[in-house]
Amino acid sequence: KKLQNAFKFCSNIVKELSSKKYSSFNYPFLEPVDPVSMNIPTYFDYVKDPMDLGSISTKLSNWEYETIEQFENDVRLVFKNCYAFNPDGTIVNMMGHRLEEIFNNRWAD
Ligand SMILES: Cc1ccc(Nc2c(-c3ccc(O)cc3)nc3c(C)cccn23)cc1
C-alpha cells in the first residue's frame, strides 16, 4: 500500500514537471540530450550520467526504483547535468532553475 502511494506520488510529480503547463521551460529536459543532433559534441565531457524526465518516467513504470531517494536522485541529476553544461545566465540554465523550483515545492511534503 505504502509502495503504491510512493509510486503514485513520484509519477504525479514527473507528470506535472513534464506537463504542457510548463512547456515554455521544461522541453530541454523531456528526452535524453542528443549531443549529435544538438551539435554539442563536448556534452559528455561535462555530463557523465545523462538523465531526463522521459527516462525517469520509463524507469518508474518499469519499477526500476527501489527507494524514492533513488527517484529523487535521478530528478536532481537532470538539474545537476543542466547546470554542468549550461553556465549561469544561459537560457537553459534558467529553465533548469525554474523547473527545479517546482520540483522542490512538490517534493517538500
Ligand atoms: C549549442 C548549445 C548550447 C546549449 C544547449 N543546451 C540545451 C539543452 C540542454 C539540456 C540539458 C542539458 O543537461 C544540457 C543541454 N537542451 C536544449 C534545447 C532542447 C534547446 C536549446 C538548447 N538546449 C544546447 C546547444
pLDDT range class, residue 22, cuts 50, 70, 90: very high
pLDDT of residue 34: 98
Distance CA 9, CA 3 (A): 10
Distance CA 22, CA 47 (A): 24
Residue 22 identity? Y
| 42-62 pLDDT tens trace | 999 999 999 999 999 999 999
Query: What's the CA-to-centroid distance between 86 and ligand 1, angstroms?
Result: 7
Query: What's the CA-to-centroid distance between 92 and ligand 1, angstroms?
Result: 6
Q: What percent of the chain has pLDDT over 70?
A: 100
pLDDT range class, residue 3, cuts 50, 70, 90: confident
Per DSSP, 71 falls in state H
Task: Provide mean pLDDT across the span 85-109.
Answer: 97
| Residue located nearest, by CA, to atom 13 of ligand 1 | 82
Residue 2 has pLDDT above 90, yes or no: no
Averaged pLDDT score across all residues of the chain: 97
